[in-house]
Structures are given as C-alpha cells and as structure tokens.
Amino acid sequence: MPELPEVEVVRSGLAPAVTGATILAVTVLDERALTRHDGGGADFESVLTGRVIQGAARRGKFLWMPLDTRAPGAPDEAIVGHLGMSGQLLLRAPGAAPERHERVRLDLSHPVHGEIAVVFADQRTFGSLAVDELVPTADGAPGGFGTDAASLPRQVAHIARDPLDPAFSDAAFRRALGRKASAVKRVLLDQTVVSGIGNIYADEALWAARIHPEAVARDLSSRTVGRLLAEIRQVLEKALAEGGTSFDSQYVNVNGQAGYFAHSLNAYGRTGEPCPRCGRPIVRVSFTNRSSHFCAHCQRMPR
C-alpha cells in the first residue's frame, strides 16, 4: 500500500497542474471508486462539474483538492482521494486513450497549462474518491501539506499528523507511546497516533533505530523514542527524494514513473540477505496480516 512518500510524490505532482483549474467534465466509469462518496456517480459528476480546484493537500496517506464554494453559505468542500492498495492519480493529455483499470476521469481547463485530464485508475478497487465537507483542524494549524487553511475533510479528521508535518508534536507522540502496552511497530502503523507510516517504512525506521519491532512501546525510554523519531524522518525524507518505493507498476507518480527507494532498503523485503550493519541475515516473522523484517542481532528484544 502506498505510504507517505508515495502519496506526497503524487500530491506534489498534482498541485501545479490542478490549482486554479476548472472542472469541465467528470466521467465515472466504475462506481466502486466512490465508496467514500455520499452519493452515486451521477451525483459526483453534477457536484463537481464547473467547480474550480484551489490546490492539492495531504495528511498521512489521504489527498484532497479544495474546491471553490458552490453558493453563499454552502460548506467548504474538497475532492478526497485515498489510493488504497493500487490506486493511481495520473495526469494525461485531453482526449488521451483510457488507462487500464481507469475508474474516474476529470477533464480540466487550467488558466496557464490549458486542458488536461486527471485520471483515477485502480486495479484492485480498494482506493476511492469522494466529495467531502471541510471541517476545522483540532489544533488550529494548517490541515496538512500543501495548504495554509486550518481545515481538512471530515473523513480525514481522525488521522493524526505525520512526522514531517511542521505541526507534528514530538511531545504528544512520546506521551502516546507511553500509554501503549502494545508492540512499537503496531503503534507506528496506527494512523490515529502517527500517520503516513506503513509496513515498509516502519521496518526501515526500526532497523535504523536498532529497535525490535515487538518491543513494548511504553517501555521505550524518552531518548530511544527521540532516536526513533529522528530515523523515521530520515527514512521518509530519503524515500521522498527518491520518488517513493515501487515494487511493481502500480506505485507511480502522476506521470506514471516509478520510485527508486526500493534500492535503498536495509531490512524490508531482504529476508536472508546480510544486514548492512552487522552482516547477519535479515529475518522475517509474521505480523498480523503482514510481515516484519529486522536484524535479530542489531534489534534485540529487551529483556
């Protein structure tokens, strides 16, 4: 599933192409892409046609594109996107041939770039688009990356900030871990505690911080939590610089290009290969419906 770096790469690619663009037409080819929308395909099309997109924002793994106000007194709204396991948001020339697994297409007219299409393609149909009301942020800070407005979609309001967000609170994160009797990796994957981190980057950050994935979160010292946060940020920033992690053709940016961070992984997906730090083999163990990859020597379980 795409994590913070992959989604941020998509957001940053969309922003210049959609900001200030008018939606000329909306084509819904598969209503399964609208599972989070309160209405069917016809409603989605009618609500959006003629609206102006004001930007592209992100919190965690959610994207949204704020819209102009429909009428005086109407609520502020945005197009909300979640890529699920295989969703793609692609920029295409007007009239371009349909993409494989295309679900929704937005035809736009940009005041500078002219006409362009935003295509939502999704092989496994776990991703979604929706029009949702914007609500105030709980802390009064901007809703996420790419926006100065202290608001975010209602269906994103429960998602915590991510460690790269300027408004992220290290102190609150430490307090949250101090209340958790579960494994630290499980806490990192809890999007209500910290967002944007999935299986790949959790394994990479824990390896870098020399923390066993099953270590009890509340037993970690403040110093250890600080080291973990520093490594999380470094891993995410490096992945962003390399365009995210792509293991197959599903994880691409808005131009259909893959990321290269998979070549920089130290633990995830490297079962049996030598640990880059000590040379002992990376091990893989079952973790809920996923797997954890770590070095049993460098990341020892606390006694």
Same domain for 215 and 139? no
Q: In whole numbers, what is the pLDDT of the chain averaged over residues?
A: 92
Please state whether beta strands 77-82 and 151-153 pair in parallel, antiparallel, or not at all (unpaired).
unpaired
Tell me if 257 is assigned to some domain: yes
Distance, CA of 137 to chain centre: 18
Tell me if 145 is assigned to some domain: yes
Mean pLDDT for the stretch of residues 146-170: 97
* Residue of 210, 238, 284, 290 with catalytic role: 290
Tell me if 302 is assigned to some domain: no
Residues 6+ apart with CB under 8 A from 90: 99, 118, 119, 120, 121, 252, 254, 255, 256
* pLDDT tier, 24 (very low <50, low <70, confident <90, very high otherwise): very high
In the annotation, is 242 catalytic? Answer: no
* pLDDT tier, 123 (very low <50, low <70, confident <90, very high otherwise): very high
Same domain for 217 and 280? yes
| Binding-site residue ranges | 101, 124, 180
In whole angstroms, give the CA distance from residue 285 to residue 184: 15
Listed residues 108, 125, 156: the one ending a domain: 156
Tell me if 163 is assigned to some domain: no
pLDDT value at position 302?
A: 87
In the annotation, is 61 catalytic? Answer: yes
| Binding-site residue ranges for DNA | 101, 124, 180
154: DSSP letter: G
Which of 48, 50, 52, 55 minimizes the C-alpha distance to 68? Answer: 52
In the annotation, is 270 catalytic? Answer: no
* pLDDT tier, 246 (very low <50, low <70, confident <90, very high otherwise): very low
* Residue of 11, 51, 59, 61 with catalytic role: 61
Mean pLDDT for the stretch of residues 278-285: 97
Residues 6+ apart with CB under 8 A from 3: 61, 196, 197, 198, 200, 201, 244, 245
pLDDT value at position 142?
A: 98
Parent domain of 275 = 170-294
Alpha-helical regions (H) of the chain: 4-18, 41-48, 170-178, 184-188, 199-209, 222-241
165 pLDDT more than 70:
yes
Same domain for 147 and 183? no
Give the pLDDT confidence of 38-96 residue by residue, as tens digits. Answer: 999 999 999 999 999 999 999 999 999 999 998 888 899 999 999 998 899 999 999 89
CATH of the domain at 231: 1.10.8.50
Same domain for 204 and 236? yes
pLDDT value at position 248?
A: 44
110 pLDDT more than 50:
yes
**Looking at the 3D structure of the chain, how many domains does it have?**
2
Give the pLDDT confidence of 173-204 residue by residue, as tens digits. Answer: 999 999 999 999 999 999 999 999 989 999 99
In the annotation, is 300 catalytic? Answer: no
Backbone angles phi, psi at 11, to 5 degrees: -60, -50
CATH of the domain at 30: 3.20.190.10
